């Protein structure tokens, strides 16, 4: 450790954890003797007390925590700890995670006849691990970076520059909520490493404060004096003022500069069945049951109700039986989807904070609060999966840098509105964009040749179905009616083509490029024109003959590329030129 730099104004430049951070070895509290830095008002520990803390030179066998005992208040950024209440959560989590191993231990124990002690040892080990995890995890927020230290044997320090912090999510599962805790996940938008910067278990108040601290650095570069606004996090947050271990002065209760843009109305649950999210859940449940049954050599026919159902199905004609099974499946999926909707989106709320960040809170059991800085917002996507479209529903997704669209959990981070009435989705999109035009403007269709290509492509794809079945009939002895039934794919393809063309359109408004396409999932994307960072004009050999071109606007946000299918070549140049004036000017000719 270098000698503490005295009057250095920047608290974090003073030796300390920066040096050992990349190597991953433990850092004894470096800045303890930094006399010049302002004393911390909250935690009353004077600096010189702490100076006596073990000053081991960084090594692999360094002490687990920065300082033994209660989190002290060294000047400047200090290492803060997770909430001690996590001591109650970690063991339970560890036990759950170690359940298979415990079961194995239990089994081994029962065979050798003394299961009791072994189980106890197993439980003790897991509880010990939980305690260890709490004791070895600490975090620090300095002026320009966030660091998290964890691990006992393999010490790890993860640091990210604060201006790379893009999202801060708070999650609280039921056990967390019971204890007034929440888990904070700091997203940098890059390939989010597993457990990259996740602090499992701060008190809810602390977490909200940390979030405000991380997201408001632009407004207040030094210490975010401005308080975390009263973000309504559906957890009964304990009074935080009494908690030690904060380098930030206790924030004054802020004037809530919050505007609620949308909140869930119970009636929206009617869109639940049309999301089909239950399909996945049911798949998992059935897969699990199937494995249980097959591994336990249990005959489901022995179960009374199941046997009764089986007998009933065998008695009725085949058609009726099939109809019954299909109906039952539909009802099950609808129920599961509705349940999923309620669990995921209950108490959904979208609000704007100080006209700078968007907050989404949601969840029935596990609550989730995500935050998105509006300066990262590049647009909004209105998506209508076919079933949802049929009942005039839609959902809203943010197009933002650092938030990839798609992929399960990530998608949750960018959701602006769960399936809701389309009119509501439009309104929310307009509110978020600050401009109603992109969502209401009439779109320009792409013309008859684009329509022709929709039909050719859809029908060519559809024709492979009867063709494939025909081959199977010819060579694999499939029944002759198979290819005939397969012919039904052709009208289906034609319908798809018609709908795909009907969806296809684009517009350029004052601030946005608006693109709509798709049938199975129809998406209307409004991409900010200043978020377009390049163009890609693509022509297949067929498109060249038809005088069409696919225009792709590339961006750093959302899907990274927004595609305008089959635009008239004669129009494409002026379209690109209008959307991003001057970029194309040197390359244009009349």
Partner 1 sequence: MDATTSPDTGAPSNAGAPSNTGTLSSAAVLSDAAATAAALRLRDPLHRVSRRAIGYWALRAGLGWLVPLAIEVVWLVADLGDLVTHLVWLGVTVVVAALHVGVMPYWRYRVHRWETTPQAVYTQSGWLNQSRRIAPVSRIQTVDTERGPFEQLLGLSNITVTTASAAGPLKIEGLDHETAQRLVDELTTTTQANPGDAT
Among 259, 312, 464, 540, binds partner 1 (CB under 8 A): 540
Which pair of structure tokens corresponds to residue 219? Answer: 């407004």
Choices 26-34, 79-87, 213-221, 528-536 (CB under 8 A): range interacting with partner 1: 528-536
Site for partner 1 (CB under 8 A): which residue of 291, 310, 533, 545? 533
From the CA atom positions of the chain, what is the Rg in Å? 30
Please select the residue that binds partner 1; options are 87, 482, 490, 537, rule is CB under 8 A: 537
Indicate the SS3 state at residue 445: coil
Binding of residue 495 to partner 1 (CB under 8 A): no
- Which of 52-60, 106-114, 299-307, 567-575 is the region at the interface with partner 1 (rule: CB under 8 A)? 567-575
Determine, following the binding rule CB under 8 A, whether residue 32 of this chain makes contact with partner 1.
no
- Asked if 589 touches partner 1 (CB under 8 A), the answer is yes
CB 376 within 8 A of CB 164: no
Per rule CB under 8 A, is residue 434 in the interface with partner 1?
no
Which one of 470, 508, 518, 546 is in contact with partner 1 (CB under 8 A)?
A: 508
275 binds partner 1, rule: CB under 8 A: no
399 forms beta bridges with: 379
Closer to partner 1 at the Cβ: 95 or 554?
A: 554
Out of 65, 340, 379, 505, the only residue in the binding site for partner 1 (CB under 8 A) is 505
For partner 1, which residue of 224, 388, 555, 564 counts as binding (CB under 8 A)?
Answer: 555
Name the 3-class secondary structure at 10.
coil
Q: Which listed residue (221, 423, 481, 545) binds partner 1 by CB under 8 A?
A: 423
Instruction: Determine which residue in the list 237, 264, 489, 575 makes contact with partner 1, applying CB under 8 A.
Output: 575
Q: Decide if 189 contacts 163 (C-beta within 8 A).
A: no
For residue 316 the two structure tokens come to: 């009725």
Rule CB under 8 A: is residue 577 a binding residue for partner 1? yes
* Dihedral (CA of 117, 118, 122, 123) sign: negative
CB distance 397 to 414 below 8 Å: yes
On whether the CB atoms of residues 87 and 77 are closer than 8 A, the answer is no
Q: Applying CB under 8 A, does 191 fall inside the site for partner 1?
A: no
Please report how close the Cβ of residue 576 comes to partner 1 at its closest, in angstroms: 8
Burial of 62 (0-12, 13-18, 19+ CB in 10 A): middle
582 is a contact residue toward partner 1 (CB under 8 A):
yes
Distance of CA 489 to the CA centre of its chain: 37
DSSP-derived letter for residue 20 is: T
Task: Compute how many residues bind partner 1; rule: CB under 8 A.
Answer: 66
Nearer to partner 1, 244 or 518 (CB): 518
Shortest CB 456 distance to partner 1, Å: 16
Binding partner 1 (rule: CB under 8 A), the pick from 356, 412, 502, 546 is 502
Residue 385 CB, nearest approach to partner 1 (Å)? 13
Residue nearer to partner 1 on the CB measure, 112 or 191 = 191
* Contact status, residue 458 vs residue 519, Cβ threshold 8 Å: no
Alpha helices (H) along 99-188? 99-112, 115-136, 174-178
Q: Under the criterion CB under 8 A, does residue 587 sit at the interface with partner 1?
A: yes
Grouping H, G, I as helix, E, B as strand and the rest as coil, residue 145 is strand
Cα gap 481→473, rounded to integer Å = 9
Q: Single out the segment in contact with partner 1 by CB under 8 A; choices: 7-15, 180-188, 254-262, 574-582.
A: 574-582
452 is a contact residue toward partner 1 (CB under 8 A): no
Q: Rule CB under 8 A: choose which of 96, 330, 492, 588 binds partner 1.
A: 588
Are the CB atoms for 511 and 435 separated by under 8 Å?
Answer: yes
Measured distance CA(428)–CA(364) in Å, rounded:
22
Closest separation in Å from C-beta 435 to partner 1: 10
CB of 26 to partner 1, least distance (A): 33
Q: What are phi and psi of 33, to 5 degrees?
A: -95, 15
Torsion angle defined by CA atoms of residues 47, 52, 53 and 56, in that order, rounded to the nearest 10 degrees: 120
Of the candidate residues 193, 265, 411, 561, the single one contacting partner 1 (CB under 8 A): 561
Q: Give yes or no for residue 454 binding partner 1 (CB under 8 A).
A: no
Report the alpha-carbon angle 560-411-349, nearest 5.
120
Does position 530 interact with partner 1 (CB under 8 A)? The reply is: yes
Counted residue by residue, the chain has a size of 590
CB 182 within 8 A of CB 176: yes
- CB 138 within 8 Å of CB 155: no
Regarding 515 and contact with partner 1 (CB under 8 A), the answer is no
Among the candidate windows 121-129, 332-340, 419-427, 484-492, which touches partner 1 by CB under 8 A?
Answer: 419-427
CB of 426 to partner 1, least distance (A): 7
426 binds partner 1 (CB under 8 A): yes
Distance CA 79, CA 28 (A): 10
**Max CA pair span of the chain:** 91
Kindly state the smallest distance separating residue 590's Cβ from partner 1, in Å.
Answer: 5
Structure tokens that stand for 487 in this block:
């012919």
Is 511 near partner 1 (CB under 8 A)? yes
Q: What residues line the site for partner 1 (CB under 8 A)?
A: 384, 389, 401, 422-423, 426, 436-437, 439-445, 502-505, 507-511, 522, 528-541, 544, 552, 554-557, 560-561, 570-578, 580-584, 586-590
């Amino acid at each position: 450790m270098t000698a503490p730099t005295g009057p250095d104004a920047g608290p974090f430049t003073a030796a300390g954890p920066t040096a050992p951070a990349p190597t991953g070895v433990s850092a004894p509290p470096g800045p303890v003797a930094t006399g010049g830095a302002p004393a911390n008002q909250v935690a009353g520990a004077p600096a010189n007390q702490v100076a006596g803390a073990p000053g081991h030179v960084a090594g692999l066998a360094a002490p687990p925590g920065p300082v033994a005992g209660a989190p002290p208040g060294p000047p400047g950024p200090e290492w803060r700890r997770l909430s001690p209440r996590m001591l109650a959560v970690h063991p339970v989590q560890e036990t759950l995670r170690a359940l298979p191993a415990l079961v194995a231990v239990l089994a081994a124990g029962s065979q050798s006849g003394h299961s009791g002690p072994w189980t106890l040892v197993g439980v003790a080990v897991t509880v010990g691990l939980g305690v260890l995890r709490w004791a070895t995890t600490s975090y620090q927020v300095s002026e320009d970076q966030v660091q998290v230290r964890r691990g006992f044997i393999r010490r790890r320090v993860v640091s990210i520059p604060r201006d790379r912090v893009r999202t801060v999510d708070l999650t609280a599962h039921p056990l967390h909520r019971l204890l007034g805790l929440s888990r904070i996940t700091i997203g940098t938008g890059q390939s989010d490493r597993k457990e990259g910067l996740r602090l499992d278990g701060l008190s809810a108040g602390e977490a909200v404060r940390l979030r405000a601290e991380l997201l408001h650095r632009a407004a207040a570069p030094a210490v975010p004096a401005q308080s975390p606004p009263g973000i309504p996090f559906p957890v009964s947050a304990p009074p935080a003022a009494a908690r030690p271990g904060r380098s930030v002065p206790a924030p004054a209760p802020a004037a809530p500069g919050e505007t609620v843009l949308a909140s869930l109305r119970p009636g929206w649950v009617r869109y639940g069945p049309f999301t089909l999210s239950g399909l996945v859940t049911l798949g998992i449940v059935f897969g699990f049951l199937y494995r249980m049954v097959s591994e336990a050599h249990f005959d489901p026919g022995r179960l009374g109700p199941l046997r009764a159902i089986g007998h009933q199905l065998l008695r009725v004609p085949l058609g009726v039986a099939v109809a019954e099974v299909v109906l039952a499946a539909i009802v099950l999926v609808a129920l599961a989807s509705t349940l999923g909707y309620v669990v995921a989106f209950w108490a959904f709320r979208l609000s704007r904070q100080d006209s700078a960040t968007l907050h989404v809170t949601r969840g029935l059991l596990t609550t989730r609060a995500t935050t998105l800085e509006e300066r990262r917002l590049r647009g909004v996507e209105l998506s209508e999966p076919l079933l949802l479209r049929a009942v005039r529903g839609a959902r809203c997704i943010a197009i933002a840098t650092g938030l990839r669209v798609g992929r399960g959990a990530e998608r949750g981070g960018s959701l602006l509105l769960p399936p809701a009435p389309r009119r509501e989705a439009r309104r929310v999109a307009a509110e978020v964009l600050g401009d109603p035009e992109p969502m209401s403007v009439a779109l320009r269709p792409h013309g008859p040749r684009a329509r022709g290509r929709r039909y050719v492509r859809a029908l060519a794809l559809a024709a492979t179905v009867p063709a494939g079945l025909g081959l199977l009939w010819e060579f694999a002895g499939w029944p002759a009616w198979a290819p005939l039934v397969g012919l039904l794919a052709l009208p289906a393809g034609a319908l798809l083509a018609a709908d795909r063309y009907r969806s296809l359109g684009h517009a350029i408004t004052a601030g946005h490029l608006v693109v709509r396409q798709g049938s199975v999932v129809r998406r209307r994307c409004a991409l900010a024109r200043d978020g377009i960072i390049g163009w890609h004009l693509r022509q297949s050999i067929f498109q060249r003959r038809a005088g069409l071109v696919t225009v792709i606007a590339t961006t750093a946000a959302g899907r990274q590329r927004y595609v305008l299918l089959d635009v008239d070549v004669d129009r494409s140049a002026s379209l690109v030129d209008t959307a991003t004036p001057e970029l194309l000017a040197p390359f244009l000719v009349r």
